[in-house]
Amino acid sequence: MIIKAKPLNPFFFKCGTKIISWLFKRRFNKIILRNIDIKPDHSYLLMCNHFSFLDGLIAYHLCDKALRKKNGMKQLYIMSLKKQMEKNKWLRYCGSFSVDPGKRSIKESFDYAAEILSKPGNVLLFYPQGNLESSQVRHIQFQDGLKQIIPKVKGKCQLIWSSNLIEYFESTKPSLYYNLLDCGTGEAFDFESLKQQVNQHHRASIEKNIRFTKEPMSYGTT
């Protein structure tokens, strides 16, 4: 049996994002958002690379700037490991619901995710790698969960990827780069094509931050 989410009320989400924005202004040298057009009257699957214990806060900030302020977002949901939710019961009240890889309940988690994405305005935050990995890794390895979720979604769903990268360069504080990619909609979903798009985009995002070095291999363009 899965642990279902109790998403934050929009008012409390807005309050939380103000606190996070204040913290990020102190923590980061600068924040760069390379944005995309958000489709109205859709739900939104927001996929990100998974590289830090700050990923949740980074994604909340992104949702505020790229989705909520464009009137696309109503409520945020997050798929989280069940063992983490059992240790941190407060996660449920921030929109998290459980997934337990390798257990029979995983089908229920995927069905619940599809139900969430069937309602316009809902955002599902999803880390397809499934594990923490360096943000500089050149290949994003997808787990198979998306293949079980997207075909079950009823209605219009925009698929969004963000390569989130951190660099220091000239400052003692890091700079945060959000590199968004519009991956189309659930109606045209093709898993192999999506993986190819994301990996090409992620490599190109890394290349954008390379200032002077001409590397012997090309990362491609989006």
Q: What is the pLDDT of residues 45-61, one digit of tens each?
A: 999 999 988 898 999 99
Please indicate, yes or no, if residue 220 is contained in any of the structural domains: no
Residue 186 lies in a domain: yes
> Could you tell me which of 197, 198, 124 has the C-alpha nearest to residue 163?
198
Going from the C-alpha of 199 to that of each of 106, 134, 209, the distances in angstroms are 26, 14, 16
Q: Give the pLDDT confidence score for residue 218 in this predicted structure.
A: 57
**Does residue 87 form part of some domain?**
yes
**Quick one: how far is CA 195 from the chain centroid?**
15
For residue 216, being part of any structural domain is answered with no
Residue numbers of the chain with a pLDDT score lower than 70? 70-71, 217-222
91 domain-assigned: yes
1 in a structural domain: no
DSSP codes of every residue in the chain: ------PPPHHHHHHHHHHHHHHHHHH-SEEEEE--PPPTT-EEEEEE----TTHHHHHHHHIIIIIGGGT--SEEEEEEEHHHHHH-GGGGGGTEEEE-TTSTTHHHHHHHHHHHHTSTTEEEEE-TT-S---TT-S-----THHHHHGGG--S-EEEEEEEEEEE-TTSSS-EEEEEEEEEEEGGG--HHHHHHHHHHHHHHHHHHT--S---SS-----
Residue 151, domain extent: 10-209
pTM, whole model, 2 decimals? Answer: 0.91
Has residue 214 been placed in a domain?
A: no
Start-to-end Cα distance in the chain: 40
CA distance 47 to 24: 21
Q: What is the pLDDT of residue 217?
A: 63
User: How many domains does the chain fold into?
Assistant: 1
Q: Considering the domain boundaries, does residue 218 fall inside one? A: no
